[in-house]
Amino acid sequence: MCVTAILEAVSSLSITPSGPLEGSVPALGAKNAVLKEMAACLLASGTHHLTNVPATSDVATMSELLTHLGCDVSWAGVHALDIEVPAADQLVPHAPSHLFAAMRASLVVLGPLLARCGEATMALPGGDDFGGRPINFHIDGLTAMGGFFNNDPEIIRGSLPTGRLVGARITLEYPSHTATDNLLMAAVLADGRTVIDNAAREPEVEDLCQHLIAMGARIEGLGTSRLTIDGVSALDPTTHHVVTDRVVAATYLGAGLVTGGRVHVPDARGDHMEMLLRKFRHMGATIDLSNGIELSGPSRAAAVDVATLPYPGVATDYKPLITAILATADGVSVVTENLFDGRFRYVDELLKMGALISTEGHHAVIRGIIQLTGAEVYATDIRAGAALTLAALRADGPTVVHGLDHMDRGYEDFDGCLRSLGATVERRA
């Protein structure tokens, strides 16, 4: 099977409310881990094997990017990828701009390419549109390690005059997930010790560390805000099982919560979702952690206040899902976005469905109503699309969510998984 075949997209999702959802559905591997771990394979020649890989369009895009860089990427059974990486002098440290423009995570090939090839040229990365996410954390950190950049408004051009990155002390102004990943991957092949302070602490970062350690990297401080990396001269390919996607798990659990149903995600990690599960309990959900996560929802959720924060706080990716659930909760809720500008853009679509939400700056005040109204709405990013789908499950008639290509970036067979839970969902071209 050709990996890039997944890139075929349809345009919309039709949802007709069908009562409480019940059943079991897996979350599979995390989008925010697998894309970085695919890039990490660039650090060592040979055949790498990744398991628990979701068949999403972002995985297909990263596969195509790696192919243009000189790798051979192929499915090796269900949810498994083989990535064959050539010698450093056979890697091609540049690729077509449309592949970088397709997703933000493409930026993480920068560190590995500098470390292996001593140079990299790439277009500015794209991805979801929810406000500015500067790349200066990446560039400043790599510069501290000896990289030289000659950029223009559209192209990043990096080189390594000394021939090898050198260890450095780096303090991130903000615990950026993607910047931590990029600098971490560069540091494992640097000459000497690198310390990354104020590093991101997400489970996906820790999973990347585990992957790199299995390849022969020397990393300390996993799961903390200080990562210490002692560079090695070479790494080896390995087999790695990608950590479960906690946002996908939250989506399906949220579908159970908003419909008053019972949903089981057997591979979900409760220890990675503690703050979100606390909020779900405050909304009235009963949660069983004995085998993955099983959530039983109330007939109507209770209002809660939520603020996004870096891990282990409530993730910004959870917020659209929470907002959609609270739109039909009993009472008034306040949701605060502390991480990104522009991440309330989906609220206008919820308003089309009759939601009573007012926004000002980083805050949204949500006055819950018993039931939303079916409407034609548009997804602006992955999680917004998922949130509108959750809202549609609690509407009084059919809803069409346009922009299904967004959801296909982060969810494997999104509509099929919802149907397995009893939802009435149909893809439309």
| Mean pLDDT per 10-residue section of the chain, whose length is 429 residues | 43 95 98 98 98 97 97 97 98 91 87 97 67 76 97 91 95 95 98 98 98 98 98 98 98 98 98 98 98 98 97 96 98 93 85 97 96 96 96 98 95 98 95
Identify the sign of the CA torsion 385, 387, 389, 391.
negative
pLDDT given for residue 151 in this prediction = 87
Q: 257 and 178, same structural domain?
A: no
pLDDT given for residue 290 in this prediction = 98
Cα gap 313→279, rounded to integer Å: 11
Q: 284 and 196, same structural domain?
A: no
Q: 368 and 265, same structural domain?
A: yes
- Whole-angstrom CA distances from 113 to 36, 40, 92, 142, 170 are 13, 10, 9, 12, 19
Cα gap 147→151, rounded to integer Å: 12
Q: 63 and 131, same structural domain?
A: yes
Q: Tell me which residue has tokens 């479960």.
A: 244
pLDDT given for residue 11 in this prediction = 84
Q: Could you list the active site residues?
A: 128
pLDDT given for residue 46 in this prediction = 98
Identify any residues that bridge with 302 across adjacent strands, giving them in sequence order: 330
pLDDT given for residue 4 in this prediction = 41
CA-based nearest residue to 253, from 12, 417, 35: 417
| CB-CB contact of 251 with 43 (8 Å) | no
User: CB count, 10 Å around CB of 25?
Assistant: 26
| HEC secondary structure over 159-207 | ECCCCCCECCEEECCCCCHHHHHHHHHHHCCCECEEEEECCCCCHHHHH
| CB-CB contact of 293 with 53 (8 Å) | no
Indicate the residue among 241, 267, 285 that finishes a domain.
241
| Residues whose CB is less than 8 angstroms from the CB of residue 381 and which lie 6 or more positions away in sequence, other chains included | 128, 129, 130, 345, 346, 406
CA-based nearest residue to 32, from 133, 103, 135, 96: 103
Indicate the residue among 226, 241, 256 that finishes a domain.
241
Residue 96 DSSP symbol: -
Name the helix (H) or strand (E) containing 251.
helix 246-259
Q: 232 and 87, same structural domain?
A: yes
Q: 152 and 66, same structural domain?
A: yes
The number of distinct structural domains making up the chain is: 2
Q: 131 and 15, same structural domain?
A: no
pLDDT given for residue 294 in this prediction = 98
Q: For 153-194, what is each residue's pLDDT tens digit?
A: 889 999 999 889 999 999 999 999 999 999 999 999 999 999
CATH of the domain at 360: 3.65.10.10
Q: 17 and 138, same structural domain?
A: no
Indicate the residue among 189, 223, 241 that finishes a domain.
241
Q: 165 and 83, same structural domain?
A: yes
Q: 185 and 291, same structural domain?
A: no
What is the SS3 assignment for 268?
coil
Q: For 385-416, what is each residue's pLDDT tens digit?
A: 999 999 999 999 999 999 999 999 999 999 99
Q: What is the pTM of this model?
A: 0.95
Cα gap 31→9, rounded to integer Å: 18
Q: 217 and 73, same structural domain?
A: yes
Cα gap 241→34, rounded to integer Å: 9
| CB-CB contact of 255 with 390 (8 Å) | yes
pLDDT given for residue 84 in this prediction = 98
Q: 273 and 222, same structural domain?
A: no
What is the SS3 assignment for 319?
helix
Cα gap 55→192, rounded to integer Å: 38
Q: Tell me which residue has tokens 């009993």.
A: 330
User: CB count, 10 Å around CB of 271?
Assistant: 10
pLDDT given for residue 8 in this prediction = 44
- For 210, the domain range is 31-241
pLDDT given for residue 225 in this prediction = 98
